Structure formats: structure tokens, C-alpha cells
Structure 1
Amino acid sequence: MNQTATTFSNIAYSKLDLSSDELLNLYKRMLKPRLIEEKMLILLRQGKVSKWFSGIGQEAISVGVTMALNSEEYILPMHRNLGVFTTRDIPLYRLFSQWQGKANGFTKGRDRSFHFGTQEFKIVGMISHLGPQLGVADGIALASKLKNKKQVTAVFTGEGGTSEGDFHEALNVASVWQLPVLFCVENNGYGLSTPTNEQYNCEHIADRAVGYGMESHIIDGNNIIEVYTKMRELAESARQNPRPILIEFKTFRMRGHEEASGTKYVPQDLLDMWAKKDPLENFQAFLMSENILTDTQDSEWRAKIIDEINTNLHTAFLEDDVVADESTELSDVYKSYSYQDIKPNSETAEIRLIDAISEGLKQSMERHDDLIIMGQDVAEYGGVFKITDGFVDQFGKDRVRNTPICESAIVEVGMGLSISGMKSVVEMQFADFVTSGFNPIVNYLAKSHYRWNQHADVVVRMPCGAGVAAGPFHSQTNEAWFTKTPGLKVVYPAFPYDAKGLLATAINDPNPVLFFEHKALYRSIRQDVPTDYFTIPFGKAALLREGEDVTIISYGAAVHWALETLDNNSDIKADLIDLRTLQPLDTAAIFESVRKTGRVIILQEDSLFGGIASDISAMIMENCFKDLDAPVKRVASMETPIPFINQLEAQYLGKGKFEKALKELLAY
């Protein structure tokens, strides 16, 4: 602030280069969310909205940041950022419909408050886990940078959210990749009831930027002129010189975390102090003192906004309630997708599973110019299994990207790329490491299309499985974690041909796909595979052997255990079904075979309890009970973590139990 600034209740204003019209526009933009909030608090007490997170006293941040950005630049707001939505001129009746769970809202009654996004207005809403949106902003900014759009992305979090690991991962990735992200931290004093001195142990959150090699700024979050002009300056600078910037807005939350929480834990003198710094009342007084705003103008604007609020509320109230329809709900879990069946050529080559995956990935990169590969050591090193060896030479480092060790942020980057219309393949170095990226997969990727019609065009490659004496942290086959989650697709090939064709389909599919690749099969299984690009549909199992005695259902490495057992017991005539995809599941092929043979055994590498074999068994019992001549049998690994040494690993795996279990079933 310069020395000619006018001070009102500790807020120092200076008009700087802003015209009277610009100043009045800032005031009107702040006035609108304030009046909406005051109405919402009345409706909350009347039971006409279910929950409210008040941003009263913080309007200057939402409005100032949004005004500083161009309309085509994405903003990722939080609970208390109503001003973002109103400044982007979203029709109020749609916001009111959203808050009442009406179909005309943005989530069709499936999620509440500000848990939504809209491509039309370039807003991506939060989820309750707070952290993931920060990495999503990285992905949107990466797309902007790769496309040379000269755009910035602004993402909000609170001081409490900066304690999330996602915050640190997202800042680190943005700094390493020099992404044009404005990380906006609203330091409003409390994370629910936890004060800042119990959230972090440094003087300013902005100080953390030093550790990431980032620029940072502290802004008076209650001073609309300071917020707007400084953010306008930073946004333009980051457009021309792409880089992340951490901005800490000093402000205060005047009401409860949400209205039911109250503010009894806040000292009254603190509330009184910040009440004197109200951003709207102080700015109003400043404008009037400068003869820029009159009482008459103010009254007219207030009356006009209140009328707009009441009119749009009436429209929303008249809207019919959502009618529950099972088919509608189920159809919206995944983005609709027209599978393109691309047949292979007649030329084949005998290759290993690992070669088929590498070949399929490379041909997909050639086919999709907007496809990005991300993962630890995937660039010059070619990945720990060398699947992407040589890819940098062909596609460059923009498209084949080494990442820091931060699984969560990289999955989130994939989501951001999808929001920007791009595809990504994220490699988990080992499937076990997905636990570090579990939250964004099951809570963000899986639910986005169902929640607000935004697909997640992300494939997560999962090198998995035992048989290589790698121990408890490099040997799990954890597909059951994801088959349980609606919104994800799960693919698990056992042969090179299937791996190549299914990977192509996974990349074409706009929905999130977990693509499991068994490490023990990488270099041990060979097959003739077409040399050019082809696809295989999801949800179609492969019938590897045919027989009348029994149905064997399996996938992944366990398929080869079953084949070995059948080869050693030529008298057993079995239908051997390789599921290939676990979600979607080919239930028709399963039921048809079971009705033919009357006996079924399900073999999986995963431990027994809670595995997909249990669900398949239940489905068979419910749908084919009258056709069964024996109980459904499941064979799986021990209920222990996977041990390291060979003899313990062999004991753990279900492979050694299968032949006996199969013969017992046939003898039943």
C-alpha cells in the first residue's frame, strides 16, 4: 500500500489504477454472495437447505481471485468460496437447485453444497478429503502448459488443508514441473475447531514455499483491492512465465465450520477484532468516503440482488423433487463409451507379456497425441521393468514424464489432464504402492462422472503379484480393493495377446481403469501377438479349455496354475474361463458354463476372504443354484501377508492347493 491509502477499521485502501466503475464492480461482486448467504442462513433455520458452510467475511478472496482470472481459466474452490460461483455468473436457480438436491443442480441430488464442478463455467469443485484438488490443479495447469495456452489455474485450500500430504505433493510437483498454478490458502484461523497453532509450527504458511523453491506472497484477504490487483498481477506474470505461486490470504472465519458447529471455541475478543475488518462493510465505507458509491445506489443494488435471489429461489422451489430411478443411477456411474473393435492384422511375432504391454503402450502413444505417461523412473531409465525403455527418444519428455515419489499427486494430475481433455497412463512402480494414491483413485477418479458428469480418462498400470520372492511390499495382488469401488474398471490379463489388446482398449476408454500386470508373467509367458494395433472388448472372458466335468474360473497368474494342473491330469475335462476383466465381469459366460458342468471352482492368487472369488461364488449360488451338483469351491492364498523367502511364498500361494481341491470337488 502507498502512503495515501485510506484506512477503515485497520483495512488500508488505495484506488491504485482502478477506475470508479471497476471499484463499484468489485463491491457489487462481493455484495451478491453476502446477500445470498444471509438468505441461506434463514433457509437453513427453516429446514429448506440441509447444511451450510459460511464464507461471510471472506468474500474479498473469492471475488478478487476470480476477477483476476480470465473466464476460460479453471478455478478449484472450497466450501467458503460462493463468490467464485457468483462471479462466474452461474444462474442462481441452478445453485439453489444444487443446494436443495434438485435435478437441475449440478449433481442431480447426488452430492451436496459445493461438491460439484462445471465445465461450462470452468469450475472444479472440491471433495471432502480436501487435498486431492491441489494435484488436480497441477494436471489442469500441465495441460495448459503443454498446449501453450498461457493460462493459469487457481486452486483454494484452507490452513487446515495444508497439513494434508496432498498439499506438499502438489506443491512439489508444480515446482519441479514449473506449472502455472496459483495455490490460494485461505488462512482463516481455525480448521473446524483446531486453531492454527495446532495446525502448523511456522509463522506463516507462505514460508513453506521456500522448501519447494517457490515464490510466495502474503495478502490481506479482507482487502478486496489488494486481493484483486495483486492476484491480477501474479496471474499475468505466471501466464507469461509459467511457475507455481503460493499465496496466503490472512482472513478469519466469522461463523462455524458449518452452521451446526457454532463458534463457542473462539475467544470473543478475536471475533470482535475481525468483525471490525469486515471486507464488505469497510469497502462500502471507503467507496462512500470517496464519493464513488451513494446510499441510493447501494440500496438499489441490494434491492435488485434480493429480488434476483427471491425469484431464483422461487424457481428452484417449484422444481420437482428428484425421482429415484435405478437405471438412471447405474447408467451414470461410467461415462458412456462406444467401443471400437479394431481387428489385428495377420502378421504376428512371438513376444513376452512385457513386450506386448510395451508395444501396446507405444502404439497407443502413436495413436493418441494427447496421451501422457507418468511415473517414477519411466523416462530415460525406461521404468524399473523397462516397459517404457526408448519412449523418451520417440515421444519426448513432455509426454513421458518422470515424477517425484508422490503417487497421490500423480493420480490427481491424471484427473486434471482428463478435465482438460487429455489422456494419461500412470504407472505405479509396484501395485503395492497404490496405497499412497488410494484416496484420489477411489474417491476422485471413481466418483467424478457419477457426481457431476466429469469423466476420468486415466489408466493406472499396476505391476503386481507373487512368484518373484519380492516380499510383502512388492508382491500383492490387490485387485479386490478396486472391484469393490463403483466407477472403476479393473483389467487383469494373463497372456501377451490379451495384455496388448486390452491395454489399447483401456486407453481408449474414457473411464478410470486399473490395469494389472503380473510381474512373474512378464518374461515367462510368450505368445504369437499381432504386430500392429488392435483392441479387445472389456467384459468378455476367454474360454481356454472346454469340458463337461467342471468349470474353472480364474485370472492372472492363477490361469497358468490351472492350465498346468489340467495338463498334468488329462482325464479331467474342464471349462477353463480366463476372466480377463474383473469389472466389467462376464457373468453370462460364467453362468453358461456352470449350467453346463454343474460344478465350479474359482482360483485366485489373492488371499481368500474378501476377494473377488467370494462375490463370484455368491453370484453363482444366487443364479445357478438349481444347476449345481456340488458346492461352489474357492481356492486362494493364505490369510497372511506375502512372505519373502521362496519356501514360505510357495506355501502362501494357492497354487499348491488347487489340484487337491479340484479332485475333491469332482469326487463330491
Structure 2
Amino acid sequence: MNFQINNLDNNTLLLLYKSILKPRLIEEKMLILLRQGKISKWFSGIGQEAIAVGVTLALNKEEYILPMHRNLGVFTSREIPLYRLFAQWQGKASGFTKGRDRSFHFGTQQYKIIGMISHLGPQLGVADGIALASKLKNTNQVTAVFTGEGGTSEGDFHEALNVASVWNLPVLFCVENNGYGLSTPTNEQFNCQNIADKGIGYGMESHTLDGNNILEVYAKVRDIAESIRLNPRPVLLEFKTFRMRGHEEASGTKYVPQDLIDYWALQDPVVNYEMFLKNQGILTDNEAATYKESIINEINEHLEIAFAEADIIPNETNELHDVYQDFVYQEITPSTETKENRFIDAISEALKQSMERHSDLVIMGQDIAEYGGAFKITEGFVEQFGKHRIRNTPICESAIIETAMGLSIAGIKSVVEMQFADFVSSGFNPVVNYLAKSHYRWGQNADVVLRMPCGGGVAAGPFHSQTNEAWFTKTPGLKVVYPAFPFDAKGLLNTAINDPNPVLFFEHKALYRSTKQQVPTDYYTLPFGKANVIRKGQDITVISYGAAVHWALEILDKNNSISADVIDLRTLQPLDTETIFASVKKTGKAIILQEDSLFGGIASDISSLITEHCFQFLDAPVKRVGSLETPIPFVAQLEAQYLPKHRFEIALIELYKY
């Protein structure tokens, strides 16, 4: 192995040695504990330590690193107390996830480390967001993110590199090419000679490094990081290395040819570097033994602390409380000055006034800058707020949602426009697995609003007309808002932006230009979880949201002999059950109207809640009305048949006569 000291002094050379030795000795101990059943699982990084250690020490401590599950050296090089790592792996409270996740699936703002999720790819886009925050704040910081060669096959990798390149984000994309994605060798993963070659397609600088040579890793990354701080840009780094143990210990290495294992055993980064230092007279046998003894003692002392810590006692209140970050709603009442606004105008005003109120708020989406968005909601925003805050994005929903998460980690709010709510399916994973779960897992909120133009009635067909709120009301950690009127849309969107939790804000396209209302001209907020009883009656409770509220009112106007409470839910998560139950107890009959197809929709849950809590007050079965169990069709007459408006009238009359 060709070690080049260059201008490194002996103190740095010895620091690198101690830093690469520490994760190796911890791993050797963990493998013993694994066999003893004292930890549940282990993903070994033996043979790859030089990469994590070299990259971490080459960066400044205030710069973020997003490691993978073989990057123990990142955590130890940032000097996290070992007992906290041990407690994390044993599911103890002094770990980082309160026993809610294992391994390295956690982050810590204190040490500027953002851990992975099992879906691998999203952290690459999250790194884009953190790096974007650095550019917006002019901090001249680098963000480093790790993935493996297998992870480069995921779409998130390509989306994240493309965004970083287009926006010149200061990201180090660190790919540990260890030869195998679990058991799948690289020749079955990609068809280019080097992963670094992929940088060419994104106009990105790239380098291939010997991942087992700690001096090469440290020196090269240090120099590149210094250059990026002066000239922000992304760089793709491929580290050639090898995984000496199984993907995780249970999987073993039987699929790896023995001669390959033998070859890479000779490239051991710890053994070779120790021999080099000894040959150079920089390290003696006694000094090496002393370092090892000191680290082993530290390991054993901290293991005793972790083992002595009591097991977590389940507490249901704590579990439920930690799903969301605390949000103290501040009611801001509007002045009496109003003007007639369309639904679309109310959305645009809320965004504009929120941009003025939150000076670092960023809006991202396809075509939202000069073009003003597909529906012209952000028209004129670039002139007022600049392209650094009104950001056109490539067509890559996953990466942009992940970027929004990275902005939140760095303390910046963002609004992401899904050009159509249907397209969120291309970014589904980061919504339900990253945004929704981060606060519960390790206390990191996702200060992100996803705007979701949705719904039928505009003859746009199966890919532009879905109303897919039920995908997200099912997911703990997300808030779901779905207004029906311009006044509500403006106030609720302002609240959504103030809320530090992830909010999906559904905007029905058919209401954009068809619904008008007197709306306050200045900034105001409305609370989540408060439904609006927009019509009062005695016979039936009608529960709905979005465009369906207007259909219900139209049908009731045709059937004016029916006296009904009409409840506009406004928010679906949180849900105002108090208003629902009070009305049903009064009327004794309930019908729930949703635009979504019926099975698995929120109407089913509301029906169950009414049955569970108001059964003794019911004079008839609870009715649910929704669209057909088909995708939404394009042609007008088929769409009219699909939508539930006509079926609602039939069901309403049947319930009234029951």
C-alpha cells in the first residue's frame, strides 16, 4: 500500500492511527457481544474504517455528515461518548432513539451527524438540502454523505446528484464500493468500470480513491473540502474497498470467492497503516500496545455504564407525544378589510405573506419560478423574493422532498409544490419513511409543507385527478389539511407553514377558479383540528371536506326539506371528532361524503368512530359515499359517473327516510 505522508506532521499521523484503531476494536468487541446475545444485530465495517475516519477528520466539526451502517468511524471520530452508542445498540434510553430504532438509524444535531434509514437512498437528497442551506446562509460549509455501491442503483442517487449539480451544492457524495450489495457483486449492479464515471453524466467532478489507504483518503478529502468551501460544487468520490464480513453477521460470506477474501485481507487498512508508522519510526510497539489498551479500557468502562442502565419501561403517553414536535398554535386574527378572492388567490396570498413573514422560507417545485407554476399561483414571486428562495426544480419528486428535509435539519422552512398530488407517488418513500418518522425516531422535526393540487371534475384523467389523502392520514407523523373555501385555505396554509411538523396541504383544482369568498387582505391563521359547521339542522349530520362539501350543499339546496348539519372537516389529521360526535348525538343520523374511492378512505374511519362513540344515539346505520372503485377516468361522462355526487343524493334521501 502506497502511503504518502506529504506535509502531515507526526501528531496528525498518530491521530489518524488512533482514530482508525478505535472503531476496529469496538467492532471486535461487538462481534463477541453479538455471539453472546447482548446485541441484536451488527453490520460490520471491518476493512472499511479508513473511509469513515478519513472523511470525518478531513471535515470541520460543524459540518454535517450523513453516514451509513458501516461507518462507525464517523461516530467515533466525532467523539460521541461510547456508552451512548452502546446504549443505542442495546435499546437503552440514553441512546439516541429511546429504543425506537437500532443500529445507526439515528441522527444527532450535537455532533452534526444525520443517520440513515433502511431505504438507503433518501439521505443523498437530504444532504442536498443541508448543503443548500449552507449556500443560502453563506456558511461555506461542506456536507458529506455516504452510500454503498448498491445504493447507486437507486433512483435517489441519480436524482440527488442531478439536483446537486444543477444547483452547485457543496456536497461530497462518498460511495464505498466494497464489491457486494449484500450478495450481489458489482458486475450485476452496474455496467461501467468505475462508479466515479457516473459523475460525467451530471457534469460533476469525480475521483476514485484507495479506500483502504487512510492517508490518501484524509489528504484528498481535506484538499477537496477546502476547495469546495471556496468554490461550492458537488464532488463524487468512489472509495475502492472491501467488506471482510457479511452484509450483516447472519448472512456470512460464503458467496465470496476465497481468493478475493485472501487478497483484500492483505489490504487491511488498520494493519497496513500500523506497519507503515512503525517502519517510519513514528510508532513503536509499546506505543501501539498502549493505545490499544487505552481504547479497550474505554470500551469496557462504557459497556459497564450501558449494561448497568435500566431497560426502557414502555410509556404510552411518551410514545404518542413524540410522534410530532410540540406546536403551540398562535392565533392571528385578521383585520376587517376583505376582498373577494378565488380559492387560488387565497393560496397565493398565503404563500406571499408567509414568505414576507419568514425571511428564509423557501418554495420549491417544478416550473414555479418565472413561469409561476402550472396554475400560476407563484406568478411574480421571483421578482419579489428572488430565485434563491423561489426555486425551479428538476422533475425529481423524491430528491426535492428529501432536500426539504435537509433544509429543515439546517433550520430552514420550506414549501414544496407537487405539481399535481398524483406525482407525490414518485416521492412516496421520503414522505412516509423520512418526514413522518424522524421526530419520533430521534427528535428531528420535518418543517415541510407539501402542496397537493388534487381532485377531479376537470377531465384530467387517472394521473392528474386523484385525491390521495388516505395514503397519508394512515401514516403517523404527518398532518393532512384539506380546505373547501378560500378563507380557510389562506388561514390554514399560514398555519401549516408555521407548524414545524410535516403537513400535506390538499388544494382541489376544481375549486381554484370556481369558488369565491370574501377573504381578509392581511395575514391570519386558523387552527388545525377544528371543523366548521357551515349549516345547521336537525335531521342528519353531513360530514365532508374539499370539493365534496360544495356538492353536499348543492344537493341539500335541491332537497330543502332535509334539515342537516353540514360539517366541513378542513383538517383530516388532526381530526375534530368532538364536533362530529356532538352533531351526531343531536341528529341521530350521519352520512360521510368523500371524493376518494370508498374502500380504505377516511370515511370508513369516521364511520367506525361514530359507531364506537355514538352508537346509542344513532337512529340509522352510518352511511358512506365515495367514488367508484376504479381509477378516475378522463372523458367527462365517465368522470361524472365515477364521482359520488349523484350517489350522494340517493343515499341522503334514503337515510332521511330511514
Taking structure 2 as the reference length, what is the TM-score of the superposition? Answer: 1.00
Aligned equivalents of 2:562, 2:621: Cα separation in 1:
18
Q: SS in structure 2 opposite 1:285? A: helix
Q: SS in structure 2 opposite 1:120? A: helix
Letter of the 1:448 counterpart: S
In the alignment, does 2:27 pair up with 1:19?
A: no
- CA-CA distance at 1:373 after TM superposition: 0.3
Superimposed CA distance per residue, residues 234-278 of structure 1 (whole angstroms, 9 cap, x where no aligned partner): 000001000000000000000000000000000000000000000
Aligned equivalents of 2:333, 2:279: Cα separation in 1:
75
Q: Identify the residue that residue 252 of structure 2 maps to in structure 1.
A: 262
Q: SS in structure 2 opposite 1:649? A: helix
Aligned equivalents of 2:560, 2:615: Cα separation in 1:
28
Aligned equivalents of 2:250, 2:581: Cα separation in 1:
51
1:236 counterpart (226, 234, 247): 226
- CA-CA distance at 1:370 after TM superposition: 1.3
Superimposed CA distance per residue, residues 300-351 of structure 1 (whole angstroms, 9 cap, x where no aligned partner): 1111110100000000001010111111000000000111100011000001
1:198 counterpart (188, 211, 227): 188
Letter of the 1:82 counterpart: L
In the alignment, does 2:43 pair up with 1:77?
A: no
Letter of the 2:327 counterpart: Y
In the alignment, does 2:141 pair up with 1:151?
A: yes
Aligned equivalents of 2:186, 2:613: Cα separation in 1:
57
Aligned equivalents of 1:581, 1:131: Cα separation in 2:
31
Letter of the 2:379 counterpart: D
Instruction: Output aligned runs, 1:564-579, within 5 Å.
Output: 564-579=554-569
Aligned equivalents of 1:409, 1:625: Cα separation in 2:
46
2:589 counterpart (576, 599, 614): 599
Q: Identify the residue that residue 207 of structure 1 maps to in structure 2.
A: 197
Aligned equivalents of 1:50, 1:619: Cα separation in 2:
39
Superimposed CA distance per residue, residues 367-394 of structure 1 (whole angstroms, 9 cap, x where no aligned partner): 0011000000000000010000000000
Letter of the 1:207 counterpart: D
In the alignment, does 2:547 pair up with 1:551?
A: no
Superimposed CA distance per residue, residues 585-614 of structure 1 (whole angstroms, 9 cap, x where no aligned partner): 001001111111110000000000000000
- CA-CA distance at 1:567 after TM superposition: 1.1
In the alignment, does 2:94 pair up with 1:100?
A: no
Q: Identify the residue that residue 7 of structure 1 maps to in structure 2.
A: none
Q: SS in structure 1 opposite 2:109? A: coil
Letter of the 2:580 counterpart: I
Letter of the 1:239 counterpart: R
2:379 counterpart (379, 389, 392): 389
In the alignment, does 2:303 pair up with 1:332?
A: no
What is the RMSD computed on CA atoms of the aligned residues?
0.4
Unaligned runs of 5+ in 1: 1-10
Aligned equivalents of 2:22, 2:258: Cα separation in 1:
28
- CA-CA distance at 1:570 after TM superposition: 1.4
- CA-CA distance at 1:98 after TM superposition: 0.2
Taking structure 1 as the reference length, what is the TM-score of the superposition? Answer: 0.98
Letter of the 1:329 counterpart: E
Aligned equivalents of 1:59, 1:661: Cα separation in 2:
66
Q: Identify the residue that residue 531 of structure 1 maps to in structure 2.
A: 521
Q: Identify the residue that residue 440 of structure 1 maps to in structure 2.
A: 430
- CA-CA distance at 1:634 after TM superposition: 0.2
Instruction: Output aligned runs, 1:303-342, within 5 Å.
Output: 303-342=293-332
Q: SS in structure 2 opposite 1:186? A: strand
Superimposed CA distance per residue, residues 216-236 of structure 1 (whole angstroms, 9 cap, x where no aligned partner): 000000000000000000000
Q: Identify the residue that residue 35 of structure 1 maps to in structure 2.
A: 25
In the alignment, does 2:114 pair up with 1:114?
A: no
Q: SS in structure 2 opposite 1:12? A: coil
Instruction: Output aligned runs, 1:34-183, within 5 Å.
Output: 34-183=24-173
1:519 counterpart (496, 500, 509): 509
Letter of the 2:417 counterpart: E
Aligned equivalents of 1:403, 1:431: Cα separation in 2:
16
Q: SS in structure 2 opposite 1:13? A: coil
Q: SS in structure 2 opposite 1:32? A: helix
Q: SS in structure 2 opposite 1:90? A: coil
Instruction: Output aligned runs, 1:369-408, within 5 Å.
Output: 369-408=359-398
1:635 counterpart (598, 620, 625): 625
- CA-CA distance at 1:416 after TM superposition: 0.2
Aligned equivalents of 2:583, 2:310: Cα separation in 1:
47
Q: Identify the residue that residue 480 of structure 1 maps to in structure 2.
A: 470
Instruction: Output aligned runs, 1:404-483, within 5 Å.
Output: 404-483=394-473
- CA-CA distance at 1:666 after TM superposition: 1.2
In the alignment, does 2:646 pair up with 1:660?
A: no
- CA-CA distance at 1:524 after TM superposition: 0.2
Aligned equivalents of 1:484, 1:185: Cα separation in 2:
35
- CA-CA distance at 1:632 after TM superposition: 0.4
In the alignment, does 2:352 pair up with 1:362?
A: yes
- CA-CA distance at 1:14 after TM superposition: 1.4
Aligned equivalents of 1:413, 1:70: Cα separation in 2:
22
Letter of the 1:645 counterpart: V
Q: SS in structure 1 opposite 2:572? A: strand
Q: SS in structure 1 opposite 2:110? A: coil
Q: SS in structure 2 opposite 1:658? A: helix
Aligned equivalents of 1:633, 1:610: Cα separation in 2:
15
In the alignment, does 2:249 pair up with 1:294?
A: no
- CA-CA distance at 1:656 after TM superposition: 1.0
Letter of the 1:471 counterpart: G
- CA-CA distance at 1:365 after TM superposition: 0.2
